[in-house]
Amino acid sequence: MTEMICVDQNYSTTRLLTRKQPNIKNRPENKFQTVLLLPEGEGRQGEGGLRTQGYFKTSQTNRPLITVVTVVFNGEKFLEETIQSVINQTYDNVEYIIIDGSSTDGTLDIIRKYEHVIDYWVSEKDGGISDAFNKAVVCALGRYINFQGDGDGFYEDDSLARVLDGGNADHSVLISAKIQRINLDGSQLYISKQDNKFRKRTLLHRMSMPHQGLLTHMNFFKKYGLFDTDNIYCMDYEHLLRAYNDFPEVTLVDQVLSKWRADGLGNGKANLILAEYNKIKNNNKVAPSLYLYAIYCWSLFKNKIKKVLRLG
């Protein structure tokens, strides 16, 4: 039995560590090969974390390892808040990976400040969010992966524990919880609704499972591959649509997992997002362009009506 080490009881990422290097099994049928440390990329500014110091993580009985990923570029404004939301989780088997795109502000200083509770971080140039996501996935050791952008973060300290208690971490491929959409100042815009049963057709007109509230089993990545780097805004949406015709089991959990701040790359770029949605649907042959356009026009019409009513 592997000896477990607690470096600091105060943090989710430092309670269940081991000095034993994991035995990674890269099967030929997997879409990518898992690595412990990323090969050096262009303009690397640094690398560190618990893993580089010889501390590792593994799933435990009834406590699957959850890999939380944050990709960031010049995110000094909100990054510390996001980091604290992860390391302060009551669930005690969390692996935290941060991929920085060679930031030029104070982002790297914040990462180094917390590297004693971050499993692995690297700062170097990348090809955008999709590429940064992929770097994190190939070095993730968790059974499930969750993505929290800088400015996002877990809703409460026990949110991850609540969602895992309400999900099926042994059999579910996707565990989807609710999100709280927030303004730049952190005030609530809305809390997403959760159906009683997942219907994959909801994916035909919207991203019904935002990545901040989604736990994706590593087997999904091994079967369907990494994110498509041709997508700028909707890489997580395209990743799900690849599996549309043979969609895996989804567990819906009526708990709020995460905060999703309205400051992302796609904020205020509805037309560009629509175009990418259109491309994704066509490439995956799941919905005609006319259907997508009708949905978009209807959403614009509803928004105009709401504005008129508010002005009235």
Tell me, yes or no, whether 12 lies in a domain. Answer: no
Q: Per the structure block, which two tokens stand in for 295?
A: 């949905």
Q: Residues 166-176: what's their mean pLDDT?
A: 86
Identify whether residues 159 and 203 lie together within a single domain. Answer: yes
Give the predicted TM-score (pTM) of the model: 0.89
pLDDT tens-place string over residues 221-261: 999 999 999 988 889 989 999 999 999 989 999 999 999 99
pLDDT tens-place string over residues 176-211: 999 999 999 999 999 999 888 888 888 887 788 999
Helix axes 270-284, 289-311, angle to 10 degrees: 150
State CA 241 to chain mean position distance: 16
Tell me, yes or no, whether 193 lies in a domain. Answer: yes
Q: Which amino acid is at 215?
A: L
Identify whether residues 186 and 74 lie together within a single domain. Answer: yes
pLDDT category, 296, cuts 50, 70, 90? low
Identify whether residues 263 and 292 lie together within a single domain. Answer: no
Tell me, yes or no, whether 1 lies in a domain. Answer: no
Q: Would you state the pLDDT for residue 167? A: 82
pLDDT tens-place string over residues 85-138: 999 999 999 999 999 999 999 999 999 999 999 999 999 999 999 999 999 999
Q: Would you state the pLDDT for residue 291? A: 52
Give the ranges where 77-201 is alpha helix by DSSP (H): 79-87, 107-113, 129-138, 159-166
Identify whether residues 263 and 204 lie together within a single domain. Answer: yes
Total domains in the fold of the chain: 2
Q: Which domain holds residue 298?
A: 269-312
